[in-house]
Amino acid sequence: MFPYTTVVYFFQMTSIPSPHGMWSARPDVRSLIKIIAENGGVMLMSLYPISDAYRSDVNNILQEEWHCPPLISRGRIIDTTILPGFLFIENDTIAGIVTYNIENAECEIITLNSFKENRGIGTMLVNAVLEAARKNGCERLWLITTNDDINAIRFYQKKGFDLVAAHINAIEISRRLKPEIPLIGMDDIPIKHELEFEIKL
């Protein structure tokens, strides 16, 4: 299968400041420049739909990162081993994964991982799902995160998602289905609630 997007860069850094002494490029372009520069100016980046060729690697990574399958969202048991999604490949290494599920004209982001932070990888993966949702006639793109994941809460709001619901103590139901969900999460915050974000399409 051909990649969704393939970009080969041969890049030489030059210092061209704007009149205000700052780079004039957009933040996503600056992130791209940073990635290229850190890789010696030559690199191959591809955004692939998840295919059978990568499915085993994806399943292993999701098991390590999310302890799934199963994954629990709004009291539903989700088999992540069969979900569609996209991979960000950087120099033959998986640098990011997003999985999603389309049902009833709604597209839900199930998992999102960027293994190299502040590179714009997460943004590119979310944008790929956004495009897939629109092509499939979805009315909204949505997701669930937990109250402890401050980084995700910040990230999704910056990407245009609105907080539309706080499902208080919903993790109690999730733990009945998946007891290994920990009691304490990031920054020692108790994991209790599900927060629902969406973009209307």
Q: Which domain CATH number covers 132?
A: 3.40.630.30
- Are the beta carbons of 145 and 192 closer than 8 angstroms? no
Q: How far apart are CA 173 and CA 72, in angstroms?
A: 9
- Are the beta carbons of 96 and 114 closer than 8 angstroms? yes
- Are the beta carbons of 123 and 109 closer than 8 angstroms? no
Averaged pLDDT for residues 158-185: 95
pLDDT of residue 54: 93
Q: How far apart are CA 108 and CA 3, in angstroms?
A: 23
- Residue range 118-144, pLDDT digits in tens: 889 999 999 999 999 999 999 999 999
CA angle 15, 30, 34 (to 5 degrees): 80
Q: What are the structure tokens assigned to 159, written together?
A: 């990407």
Q: What are the structure tokens assigned to 60, written together?
A: 């292993």
- Residue range 172-181, pLDDT digits in tens: 999 999 999 9
Amino acid at 125: L
**Count of domains observed in the chain:** 1
Say what the pTM is. 0.79
The residue range of the domain holding 69 is: 5-200
pLDDT of residue 10: 36
